[in-house]
Amino acid sequence: MEIITEREFLEKAQQEDCQADLSERLHAVSPRYMKYVCSADDLLRRKTYPTWRTNKDATKYIGAYEVPRDQAFLISFIELARKPQLFSQIKFNERENYLKSSCIIVFRCEGCGVHVIKDGNHRLLQCAFHKISAEFTVYQVVSVDWKSCKVDMKNFCECSSAGLP
C-alpha cells in the first residue's frame, strides 16, 4: 500500500473519466489517499458495494442517492451478478469488455470496513458475473468518519448510518 496525495488521486480519477461525485471526500474527517494492487476476488470478498442500490426485493434499480436507506438497499457485486434482470437498468451488458482499464476508485470507511466503488462498478460486476479475478490498481480515499457526508457514504457506511433508517 502506497500513500499518495489528494492531487494524485484526483488526477487518476480524471484520467479514468470518473463520473462519480468525489466531492464527498471533503466532508470526511482526515481523509487519507492510498494506492495499492488488489485482485477482484479480494475486493469482492470484502464489504464492497457498487453505488447502485435496489428496492427491498432487489428487483428494481434505485439510482438517486437522496432515496433513504429504508427504501433503497445495498446490493453486493456477487448478489447483483445473480440478478441479470437488473442489468439493463444499470446499463450493464454482460458481453461487453469493461476491463479496458485496470483502475478502481474507492471510498472506504476504516470504522466499519465498507468499500464504495466510485469508479469501476461495471468492471467489478463483470468480474463477479464471469468469475474473473482480474488485478486492479485501487485508488482509495480512507477515513474513519464519514458522518458529515451527504451523497454515497451516508447510504453505505454503517458508522454514518447508525440510528438512521
Which pLDDT score, from 0 to 100, does residue 152 have? 87
Strand partners, 138: 36, 104
What is the distance between the alpha carbons of residues 116 and 106, in angstroms, rounded to a whole number?
6
101: left (phi over 0), alpha (psi -120 to 50) or beta: beta
Which pLDDT score, from 0 to 100, does residue 32 have? 97
Instruction: Evaluate the CA torsion angle 16, 90, 117, 35 in order and state its sign.
Output: negative
What is the distance between the alpha carbons of residues 23 and 11, in angstroms, rounded to a whole number?
14
* Dihedral over alpha carbons 123, 128, 130, 135 (to 10 degrees): 60
Q: Which residues have C-beta within 8 Å of that of residue 95, sequence separation ≥ 6?
A: none
Which pLDDT score, from 0 to 100, does residue 149 have? 85
Is the Cβ–Cβ distance between 54 and 89 less than 8 Å? no
Taking only the tens of pLDDT, the chain with its 165 residues reads: 899 999 999 999 999 999 888 999 999 999 999 999 999 999 999 999 999 999 999 999 998 889 988 999 999 999 999 999 999 999 999 999 999 999 999 999 999 999 999 999 999 999 999 999 999 999 999 999 998 888 889 889 888 654 444
| Residue 109 DSSP SS3 | strand
Which pLDDT score, from 0 to 100, does residue 150 have? 84
